Amino acid sequence: MKNRTMRHALWGLLFISPWLLGFLGFQFYPLAMSFYYSLTDSSLVKTGDFIGLDNYVKLFSQDKDFFPSMRVTLLYTFVAVPIKLAFALLVAVLLNRNSKVMHVYRTVYYLPSILGASVAISLLWRFLFMNEGVVNSLLGKLGLPGVDWLGDPDVALFTISLLVVWQFGTSMVLFLAGLKGIPSELYDAAKVDGAGRFRTFGAITLPLLTPILFFNLVMQLIGALQEFTAAFVVTNGGPMKATYLIGLKIYDEAFLEMRMGYASAVSWVLFLFILLVTLILFRSSNRWVHYEDGGRK
């Protein structure tokens, strides 16, 4: 009998061994190494000497790009993600009924998310928002002045954010799945109690959707804090570094300046920041995320 359990365990380990290797070799080891590199002056061509926290000190005290870059990244994240999720939720609520037409809408809304941050879409954004672009000529037709969407440092980040908001489809589908899971008896009961539409939304729909909202929020925040392609291809960090997200800075430091050690330090600061945001979210979730089993489990 003992023998059988052991064989069973060995088979299990055998089946998960590809992942175990991959995890150790391509995730855990790189994570440890990136921390080590961040304490060295490594370049692209050679592993450098151990210099302690010098990179971090330099990052916080001398690097004139770091804080502006972090500011832009935070601004971008905390503008784009809430707008995107609010919009996704609104549309999901509007779409939540069973009919063929709704399927068509759902498909149409989902399509941009499929294309992601592909280069073609970034190219499209450049054409839509340049000075002689589609958006400005539409504004012109409405008698409104054009906006320098990509050239004005105060606007460019917003233009990039719009690209992300446009791709709200994935979050919307998740919300839709959640809405479908809400038992209709709850709505019937609310009707009997004479609750209006907004009251019902606030008292039933929203609380029951909080687990999905939480999930969406965590994944979108982690993604947004690392955003790269949109800012790289549409504006290349400009104008005047107004869209120079921290992801772009890491790329530049590592592969243009070839300062691997320093770039690793920047990426670790980003990592710790992401960790902090995620932890705060998880901590706060007890208060606002509603689980059907009361959060015990």
Whichever of 187 and 228 has its CB closer to other proteins, that residue is 228
Q: How far is the CB of 116 from other proteins (least distance, A)?
A: 4
Q: Single out the residue of 11, 67, 78, 288 in contact with other proteins (rule: CB under 8 A).
A: 11
Q: How far is CA 169 from CA 21, 113, 165, in A?
A: 35, 5, 9
Q: Give 132 or 154: the residue with its C-beta nearer to other proteins.
A: 132
Which of residues 111, 240, 276, 280 is near other proteins by CB under 8 A? 111
Q: Cβ of residue 148: shortest distance to other proteins, in angstroms? A: 15
Nearer to other proteins, 131 or 202 (CB): 131
Can you tell me which of 22, 183, 196, 295 binds other proteins, judged by CB under 8 A?
A: 22
Q: Which is closer to other proteins, CB of 157 or CB of 266?
A: 266
Q: What six digits make up the tokens of 186?
A: 């709850």
From 72-80, 122-130, 182-190, 199-207, give the range in contact with other proteins by CB under 8 A.
122-130
Shortest reach from residue 275's CB to other proteins, in Å: 9
Task: State which residue, 41 or 154, has the beta carbon closest to other proteins.
Answer: 41
User: 1 - beta bridge partners?
Assistant: none
Interaction of residue 233 with other proteins, rule CB under 8 A: yes
Measured CA to CA, the distance from residue 28 to residue 220 in angstroms comes to 23
Instruction: Pick the piece of the chain touching other proteins (CB under 8 A) from 33-41, 63-71, 150-158, 199-207.
Output: 33-41
**Residue numbers 164-203 binding other proteins by CB under 8 A:** 166-167, 169-171, 173-174, 176-177
Site for other proteins in 45-84 (CB under 8 A): none
- Which of 61, 101, 184, 297 touches other proteins (CB under 8 A)? 101
Is 158 a binding residue for other proteins by CB under 8 A? The answer is: no
CA angle 269, 212, 117 (to 5 degrees): 55
Q: Pick the binder of other proteins from 83, 228, 290, 291 (CB under 8 A).
A: 228
Q: Say whether residue 109 binds other proteins (CB under 8 A).
A: yes
Q: Is 156 a residue that touches other proteins (CB under 8 A)?
A: no
